[in-house]
Amino acid sequence: MKPVRTAVFPVGGLGSRFLPATKAMPKEMLPIVDKPLIQYAVEEARAAGIEEVIFVTGRGKTAIEDHFDYAAELEQTLAARAKQDQLAELRGIPGKPGAIAYTRQQEPLGLGHAVWCARQLVRNEPFAVLLADDLIQADTPCLKQMIEAYNEVGGNIVAVTEVPAEHTNRYGVIDPGATHGRLTEVRGLVEKPAPEKAPSRLAVIGRYILQPVVMDVLGSQQAGAGGEIQLTDALARVIGVHPFHGYHFEGKRFDCGDKAGHVMANIAFALERPDIGPAVRTFLHDLSATA
Ligand code: G1P
C-alpha cells in the first residue's frame, strides 16, 4: 500500500457566504483566534505525515502564498526586538523549501474540477484533500486518524458525521454498508440530496484520502448538483475499484464557511487557549447570567 504523502487544498472558492469580509481577502485567511483557517488545515496535514502541499488557488488569493512564505522585514524586526517565540512560530509556517506547489483553477467549475486541476502535481500517488472551511477540533488531528485507518484498509476514505435530516442538502451523503468500529463501507454517494432522497444522514466532511484513479474519473466528470463538477459524483463512480469507507472521526467539526459556525469555532478554540481562555470563559458566564 502506497503511503499518503501529498495533500491538495482547494482554496479557489469565492467565499460569497462570508461577504463582505471576503470581498478583498481569501476566506481561507479568516482567523480563528489568531491563526488563519488555512494554517490549521496545513498543520493538520503535516501532523498526519503529509510532506507535499498543493494549493489550488484562484484570482485574489495571493495572501495565501504570502502567508506560507518568509516575511523578511517582519522577521528582522522581531529578531531586533528579541521576540524569539514569535519569530520561531512564523518561521515554521512555510515548511520545507519547495514542498508547497500552487496551481490555479481558472474557472469556478466546482470542487471536483478544483481537485482535478492538481492532477499533474499529485502524479500517480494516493493523496489527501482537505477543505479548510471544515475545522475539526480533536485530540488526534482528523487526517491523522484517517491515515491510521488507511494504513489498515487502504483504498478511498472520506470523513463522515451524522447530520440532522433537514441538513442533508448541504453535503455529500453516503449510502452506508456494514460498519466496523469507526469505518463504514460506502455503497453509494449523492451530492446535496433533499432529505426525502438522502440514502442516510451520514454526511461527508471535508477530509478525503483518495486513490489516483479518482483523477482519471474526474477528467470525464459531467456537471452535477448546482451545475458544478462534483467530487462526490466522481467518488460514486470509483466504488468497487478499491475498498471505500466513511470514517467516523473523533472530534468536533465547525463549518467556518458559515458565519455562525465561524463565531462558534472562535469561542471553542479561544476557550482552549491558556492565555485568553479564562477571560473568554468569564465573559460567556457573565453574558449567560444576564441573558
Ligand atoms: C463540499 C462537498 C460536499 C461536502 C462538503 C463538506 O460542499 O461538495 O460533498 O459534504 O464540502 O463541507 P460545499 O461545502 O463546498 O458546498
Averaged pLDDT in 10-residue chunks for the chain of 291 residues = 95 91 94 98 98 95 95 94 93 93 95 98 96 98 98 97 97 98 98 97 98 97 94 97 97 96 98 97 94 75
Q: Which residue of 111, 133, 202, 229 sits with most ligand 1 atoms within 8 Å of its CB, as the best mutation to test the pocket?
A: 111
Per-residue pLDDT at 212: 97
Do residues 282 and 155 share a domain?
no
Whether 262 is covered by a domain: the verdict is yes
Integer Cα distance of 273 and 164 in angstroms: 30
pLDDT of residue 13: 87
Distance 205 CA to ligand 1 centre (A): 7
Q: For position 15, what pLDDT does the model report?
A: 86
Q: Please report whether residue 184 resides in a domain.
A: yes
Q: Can you say how many angstroms the Cα of residue 181 is from the centroid of all Cα atoms in its chain?
A: 23
Residue 129 lies in domain: 6-255
Indicate the number of domains in the chain: 2
Strands 244-248 and 156-162: parallel
Determine which residue's CA is closest to atom 10 belonging to ligand 1.
Answer: 171
Q: Which atom of ligand 1 is nearest to the CA of 226?
A: 16
pTM exceeding 0.85: yes
Residue 174 Cβ contacting ligand 1 at under 6 Å: no
The minimum-distance atom of ligand 1 relative to the CA of 206 is 6
| Domain membership flag for residue 1 | no
Mark whether 24 and 77 lie in a shared domain. yes
- Domain of 12: which CATH number? 3.90.550.10
Q: Are residues 174 and 208 in the same domain?
A: yes
pLDDT at 152: 96
For residues 106 and 245, membership in a common domain is answered with: yes
The CA distance from 126 to 164, in Å, is 32
Report pLDDT for 240: 93
92-93-99-103 Cα dihedral, nearest 10 degrees: -170
* 172 ligand 1 Cβ < 6 A: yes
